[in-house]
Amino acid sequence: MGVFSAQPPMPLYEYECQVCGRRFDRLQSFGDPPADTCPAGHRAVRRVVGQPAVHFKGKGFYVTDNGRGSGSGSR
């Protein structure tokens, strides 16, 4: 038995500075205020959205070509 910490995964948000264009990401736990300062000190950042961390396999996510109705009833 080991150390098991039941912490929820912290979401990773990506920000982009509007001044220097630097991109950085910030781990934020629930309740943390959103980042509003660039690592260089600029206070004009905005969150970059549209980059999901999980990749779904498009059309092959749920394959149902397992011979449905092809008469394979031999158990």
- Residue 13 near residue 25 (C-beta atoms within 8 A): yes
* CA 54/CA 12 separation, integer angstroms: 12
Task: Find the shortest distance in angstroms from Cβ 40 to Zn ion.
Answer: 4
Choose between 22 and 26: whose C-beta lies nearer to Zn ion.
Answer: 22
Q: Are the CB atoms for 15 and 26 separated by under 8 Å?
A: yes
- The answer to whether the CB of 75 falls within 8 A of the CB of 53 is no
**Beta carbon nearer to Zn ion, 22 or 28:** 22
List residues near Zn ion by CB under 5 A: 17, 19-20, 22, 38, 40, 42
Q: How far is the CB of 17 from Zn ion (least distance, A)?
A: 3
The least CB distance from residue 45 to Zn ion, in Å, is 7
